[in-house]
Amino acid sequence: MNEQQRPVALITGAAKRVGAQIARSLHGAGYDLALHYRHSRGEMDALCAELNMARNGSAQAIQAELADVEVMPRIVEACITRFGRLDALVNNASAFYATPVGSVTPTQWEELFASNARAPFFLVQAAAPHLQAAHGAIVNMADIYAERPLPGHAVYCMAKAALVMMTLALAKELGPEVRVNAIAPGAVLWPESGKAYADQKELVARTPLKRAGSPEDVAAAVLFLLRDAKFSTGQILKVDGGRALAI
């Protein structure tokens, strides 16, 4: 496909970990990419260089603080200015840490809801006209803990539950032009902060598939929902090895 024919995806939190693998998988499937990052400039520069070496001009980095809702139109406009279209949005960026009841601060509440619920909503709102024009799709990164709370993480679980309801509501609001789905990963990558996961072996042992997931597992599900699941909207796809059955 030439540049005008290739689909374009905007991915938040794309510099490393699962976000970077989603970027590589979509790029390998023929997508051009607008890649958002917050602080991870070095990782993002390396990822863009890797992708642009494989297909020149196919990846663009966009730095932004998603807690500021005023930047959402700017992020979308940067993508449209570079590529001329937007076919897919992946709301991957997320904050995660413990908030034991009795010690929760308003700042923690604001930070967890901003990254996990508010930013995805306002980014969708800014992107919706372009996604509707392209008959595109959205994938939100939810969590199995949106349904079954993780002890000590009430605010995070509440924010992800809001994201799940957003997925359902927007599937109705934006259809039929735009499909809106979410992925609820299980144990894929252990968090860099927020939970020690000293019980990793026990957690995996309780999972029917008896293994931890991988970023590739999540990225494959994202590609499926964006490209192949043409009759699916308002769905929350668990990518957890069956772990939700054992919680």
- Nearest-angstrom CA–CA distance, 189 and 208: 18
**8 Å CB contact between 164 and 146:** yes
Does residue 197 carry a catalytic annotation?
Answer: no
Helix axis angle, 154-174 to 119-134, nearest 10°: 20
The token duo for 158 is 């509440």
For residues 245 and 208, give the distance between their C-alpha atoms in angstroms, rounded to a whole number: 8
Q: How many H helices and E strands in the chain?
A: 8, 7
Cα-Cα-Cα-Cα dihedral of 63, 65, 70, 75, to 10°? 30
Q: Tell which phi-psi region holds residue 52, choosing left (phi > 0), alpha (psi between -120 and 50) or beta.
A: alpha
Q: Is 137 helix (H, G, I), strand (E, B) or coil?
A: strand
CA distance 132 to 175: 9
Closest Cα to residue 88, out of 17, 179, 189?
179
Instruction: From 66, 63, 58, select the one nearest 28 (Cα to Cα).
Output: 58
Among the listed residues 31, 37, 145, 156, the single catalytic one is 156
- The CA-CA-CA angle for residues 232, 237, 243, to 5°, reads 160
- 132 vs 136: CA distance, rounded Å: 6
Residues assigned a catalytic role: 156
